[in-house]
Structure 1
Amino acid sequence: MHRPIYLDNQATTPVDQRVVDTMLPYFTEYFGNPSSINHQYGWEAEAAVKNARQILANAINASPEEIIFTSGATEANNLAIKGIAEAYFQKGQHIITLATEHNAVIDPCKYLETLGFEITILPVEKDGLIDLNLLEKTIRDDTILVSIMAANNEIGVLQPLAEIGRICHKKNTVFHTDSAQAIAKIPLDVQTMQIDLMSFTGHKIYAPKGIGALYVRRRNPRVKLAPQLHGGGHERGMRSGTLYTPQIVGFGKAIEIALAEREKESDRITKLREKLWKLLSQLEGIHLNGHPTQRLPGNLNISFESVDGAALLLGLQSVMAVSSGSACSSTNTLSSHVLTALGHSEKLAYASIRFGIGRFNTEEEIEIVAQQVISTVQSLRQLQ
């Protein structure tokens, strides 16, 4: 049975076979609990977790003790935002974030608002980038957290992390970044970028779903977090629960592969993205969403004028798997809050497609996808 071409790699990625092969022994042979420190089975699992923790730490220039394993980026974001709110409550109750953030950041902030915290949601420029001057002016003495994502999940825009980190540290404010889409795809350095908290996940980089991590700075300054899960004191007391060794091993292997292949793969995927954009540019009335170059290599988000969004997706689904926005809010039939934040009308935002190009896509697939999109858009416009 023919399966559609998969171009939704910002939603999730297939697990790389090399990752699967690395994980398999930890389900059956090295199955011990890494917290069982009195016998060989526990030691084996503990060693595997330690190795993966070191890989993740090296990827962002952190120390392994600063890596806290979670079930994914959503849990990591919640731990970072709610954990800071509770730990720094005495200092202040003001938090700053961005209009284009993932719901895993926006929703915890809205929850804290019901508890009395003041949340400032900053607008973005038309290209999706933050206004750094506005950010600096908005930080107050009682601002305890700034949460700005590294790479946007819908439009792929890369925010200037180093500049944001400099501003936050100058103002003595904790800086958190959701790097679910960015980890191992672009260079990240928590020291030079002055990042205090960083969330990331495995399933965007060909590791399994259900595993993620939070970097928590230990010095200059030491960041305090109130745990959101209690029971056992795992992960330096910040996240209790038995560690899922196979997932952690897979996460580490996926990071290792992505870093080793990043330069070559980034170049290949960028060329595929540019080819797709060039082919689709034959159409009139289309808009590239987000900064044209300061974006993830594999992300191309386009709005189509004079087309019904639902009809467009329906016309494409037999040939390709793409999405109109975040997979984490796919049950929401409203237009993307990210695209409306760029200034698009509800109608134009709704008629948008996110093409997520990944490791296993080919040039031939890009040509087929472009041909089908052009054909479908032209047919729908003729029906207007």
Structure 2
Amino acid sequence: MIYLDNNATSRLDERVLDSMLPYLREDYANASSLQHKMGRHANQAIEESRKSLAQVLQVQPKELFFTSGATESINTVLRGVFLRYHAKGNHIITCQTEHKATLATCEYLEKKGARVSYLPVDKNGAIDLDTLKSTITPQTILVSLMSVNNETGVIHPIKEIADICQSNNVLFFCDSTQSIGKQAFDLISVPIDFCCLSAHKFHGPKGIGALFIRRKSKPLQVESLITGGNQEQTLRGGTYNVPAIVGMGIASRQASKIDFAAIEQLRNHFENRIQTEIEDCTINAKEAPRICNTSNIMFKHVRGNELMTKIPDIAISSGSACVSGSRDPSHVLKAMGLTDDEAFCSLRFSLSKYTTQRDIDHTVEALKTVINSIRQQSPIWQMYKDGLLG
């Protein structure tokens, strides 16, 4: 099996697994049971993991809160800020190409009285910073924009966005789920107020993530999404998932050592072969700044779902894993101006540190064979070649 769906989830690093096993077998105590040695040892492991992650992100450990993943963090920030800051205003700014976790939560908040502005993007998936500036009003309480788009790999100018928010006294929440392990990323020089990540995107375990909340002279107020015990400074109640938290700490250290240039070189080799050897294909958002591992490619008049079923030994996707069961075209590609048919004919290929050139070359050969076969049997393709269709 060749795995090219790393934006959905990534292979667990062996060093991460090794670090987790003792907390599943021997050191299995509840980390909140501080009355005995085993519980204190588990709690210490959590704090060591928090320190490791803080060092990678260049933040203070007390600014990091463990969650079940980015979706929970997104809900915590969007709902929490809306509840705590409604006295100032009810306006939230996001983007049409955000992850569904953000869009769905914003839609929910609109029913509760929030006013949400969804910034458009151009054909390369980029937002216009002047439009962002003009959209901010005295009632704006939060701007929520991702650092990297999960479907196209498009990188937003986070530093510039953060500066705009800061100069307008507006909170900025950045979904950085697709950044860690794919580009240099730290929070020391970028005035982001909230930031979230998920371990399984950078070779850590599933079901664990972190939320960063910057400490300021005037503390940021966020309503708890999950109430219970006093875990995570009362922000997130519930029994600690010690093995996953330990694994996340190790995964974050390993992620900082990844050779991004090598992955980008493989990605470029893949795209060059595709464009050279397969006719009528388009790399979506090719002209935009993109993360090193992601290619979103439209194969003219070849439906992505049909193509995927004919190459079952290669793991790829037609978009975000969170909406993979949807029959609707990608909302990201539609926002970029693609037609329904063009969106349905697009596939995402996302590489990792484990991807080899042999994987890439095998994938290209398989795509060539299957695409040629589909097109030869397609009357629509023949009409297109005869100039009867666009």
TM-score by length of 1: 0.96
Is the Cα contact below 8 Å between 1:190 and 1:196 reproduced in 2? no
Shift of 1:184: 3.5
**C-alpha separation in 1, matches of 2:122 and 2:135:** 16
Partner of 1:185: 182
Shift of 1:359: 1.8
**Which of 115, 132, 136 is 2:133 aligned to?**
136
Larger CA deviation: 36-45 vs 349-358 = 36-45
2:211 corresponds to 1:236: no
**C-alpha separation in 2, matches of 1:330 and 1:215:** 28
**C-alpha separation in 1, matches of 2:103 and 2:111:** 13
Partner of 1:305: 300
Q: How does 1:208-357 map to 2 (within 5 A)?
A: 208-219=205-216, 222-259=219-256, 261-262=257-258, 265-282=259-276, 283-292=278-287, 294-317=289-312, 319-357=313-351
1:270 maps to a residue whose letter is E
Partner of 2:156: 159
Partner of 1:368: 362
Q: How does 1:10-21 map to 2 (within 5 A)?
A: 10-21=7-18
1:267-324 deviations in whole A, cap 9, x for unaligned?
111111011101101222211112446211111110111222322222222x311000
1:137-156 deviations in whole A, cap 9, x for unaligned?
10111111100001111001
**C-alpha separation in 1, matches of 2:230 and 2:114:** 28
Q: 1:220 to 1:353 in 2, by over 3 A?
A: farther
1:288 maps to a residue whose letter is I
1:167-190 deviations in whole A, cap 9, x for unaligned?
001111110011111124222232
Is the Cα contact below 8 Å between 2:126 and 2:288 reproduced in 1? no
Is the Cα contact below 8 Å between 2:303 and 2:346 reproduced in 1? no
Larger CA deviation: 190-199 vs 244-253 = 190-199
**C-alpha separation in 2, matches of 1:148 and 1:221:** 23
Aligned to 2:117, the other structure's residue is in SS state: strand
Shift of 1:161: 0.5
**Which of 52, 56, 62 is 1:55 aligned to?**
52
**C-alpha separation in 2, matches of 1:213 and 1:246:** 15
Percent identical among aligned pairs is 40
Is the Cα contact below 8 Å between 2:124 and 2:288 reproduced in 1? no
**C-alpha separation in 1, matches of 2:287 and 2:352:** 18
Aligned to 2:310, the other structure's residue is in SS state: helix
Is the Cα contact below 8 Å between 1:211 and 1:251 reproduced in 2? yes
**C-alpha separation in 1, matches of 2:345 and 2:217:** 46
Shift of 1:221: 5.3
Partner of 1:44: 41
Shift of 1:220: 5.3
Partner of 2:91: 94
Is the Cα contact below 8 Å between 1:59 and 1:184 reproduced in 2? no
1:188-236 deviations in whole A, cap 9, x for unaligned?
2324211000010011111110000100111155311000111112111
Aligned to 1:252, the other structure's residue is in SS state: helix
Question: How many residues are paired up?
Answer: 377
**C-alpha separation in 1, matches of 2:357 and 2:186:** 32
**Structure 1: gaps spanning 5 or more residues:** none
Is the Cα contact below 8 Å between 1:34 and 1:44 reproduced in 2? yes
**C-alpha separation in 1, matches of 2:255 and 2:215:** 26
2:112 maps to a residue whose letter is L
1:74-97 deviations in whole A, cap 9, x for unaligned?
001110111111111111100000
**C-alpha separation in 2, matches of 1:266 and 1:275:** 14
Is the Cα contact below 8 Å between 2:227 and 2:237 reproduced in 1? yes
Aligned to 1:281, the other structure's residue is in SS state: helix
Shift of 1:252: 0.4
Shift of 1:6: 0.8
Is the Cα contact below 8 Å between 1:129 and 1:291 reproduced in 2? no
Structure 1 residue runs of 4 or more that deviate by more than 3 Å after TM superposition: none
1:365 maps to a residue whose letter is D
1:15 maps to a residue whose letter is L
